Amino acid sequence: MFSRFQNFTAGETEIDLGQDCNTVIIENLTPGDIFPSYTEQKPTSSLAKIAPQKSLSIEKMDKPINTLRILLSAPGNLNIIAYNMLAWLIALLFAVQPSVAAGYYGGGTNAQGAQGGTLPAAGASGNVLTSDGTNWASAAAAAGGLTPLNGFTYQVDKVSGQYYIGTNGATTFTALGFPALTITSTSGTVAAGQVNDSHIIKYTTGTTATNNCNGIQASTWRHRGYGPALLIRARAASSTDVRYWLGWTNGSSWTGTATPGTSALSGAAFRFDTSVGDATWKAVTFNGATQTVADTGIALDTANLVNFVIKLGDGGAGSNDAKFYINNVLVQTISATLPGNGTNIQAGFAVTNLNVSANVLDVMKIAGEAN
């Protein structure tokens, strides 16, 4: 096959095709350009081809040619392709497909190619190939989904097993699979609303300090041994004199306390609390006796809905921790003061007024899944 993209000058040009060709495709011809059917013909002969009123011309030659003559009315870039259709079809039909050596072609520790590694051992029958975004490993498939390696970035759209979702004009969530959601409000209100075209439920506290508005599952759902993941899509609309909690707890309600670990509660949650000087979201784990607080470095976004995800490891190798994600980015990992493997937890949220102004939490969706 002959292929060339070239700038040609005006006038007659002769092009050596290097082989016998019976089909010629020329792109970017202009009306007035001429090329012949046969190598013996000159552009001025009566059998010369006049370029049509379009930029692409495809010509099937009466007999193979190995030289092409073109007469251009003006300089221009031409894209020329010439080939022998029959020879091309035969070559395609009998072509021997290249073989690919066994192994994985890509980056990471267990990879073939630049780093010279090989795939890990296949392991037991039924294992799957999984990665942490850098390295590969063979792992058993967990019931209800794959157990990711330590370091895996948990995708928000993967948290969709059971959920609550707000609908147009509703002041209660539609529950799909989850136990009922119990709402408790101290001199506050619950109303339908909308944030950036998304239907939400707006939870507003009263105007007295310690007024609290919270929602929690009516019964505990899973313990950490199931490797549960939780997504809460919400907007924290207030940034002064306010406390927010979003996450897992084993209590019957979010009491609005700043220190759940010393209040006999177990869980893992996001916290923003101006009473203790929070300027960014904190990741918190608590086990009924004490708690661990770690900074995420992420400030409040009071204008937009945000995806908050917490993934609790099931206690297996490399997964004995709690991973916190904001808008699908891993922002903190905590391996201390985790809720016990046998302590059932449930999803919930709370907004507490710390002064005299009403505070608002808009919630669009709560979703959870477990192995």
pLDDT at 112: 46
pLDDT at 361: 92
Q: Which CATH architecture has domain 156-369?
A: Sandwich (2.60)
371 or 237, which is more confident: 237
pLDDT above 50: residue 105: no
Spatial distance between the Cα atoms of 216 and 184, rounded to a whole number of angstroms: 8
Q: What are phi and psi of 92, to 5 degrees?
A: -65, -40
Model pTM above 0.75: no
262 — pLDDT class (breaks 50, 70, 90) = confident
pLDDT at 104: 45
Read off the pLDDT of residues 265-306 as tens digits, 9 standing for 90 and up: 899 999 999 999 999 999 999 998 999 999 999 999 999 999
341 or 135, which is more confident: 341
Interior CA angle at 282 toward 278 and 226, to 5°? Answer: 160
pLDDT above 70: residue 241: yes
Read off the pLDDT of residues 143-194 as tens digits, 9 standing for 90 and up: 434 333 333 333 444 454 555 565 567 777 766 666 667 777 767 888 888 8
pLDDT above 60: residue 252: yes
State in Å, rounded, how far the first CA of the chain is from the last one: 56
Spatial distance between the Cα atoms of 159 and 165, rounded to a whole number of angstroms: 13
Cβ atoms within 10 A of the Cβ of 61, count? 18
156 or 92, which is more confident: 92
Stretch(es) of the chain classified as CATH 2.60.120.200: 156-369
CATH number of 2-94: 2.60.120
127 or 305, which is more confident: 305
| DSSP E strands, 51-132 | 56-72, 76-83, 128-131
pLDDT mean over 56-78: 74
Cβ atoms within 10 A of the Cβ of 111, count? 19
Spatial distance between the Cα atoms of 83 and 87, rounded to a whole number of angstroms: 8
21 — pLDDT class (breaks 50, 70, 90) = confident
pLDDT at 70: 76
pLDDT above 70: residue 232: yes
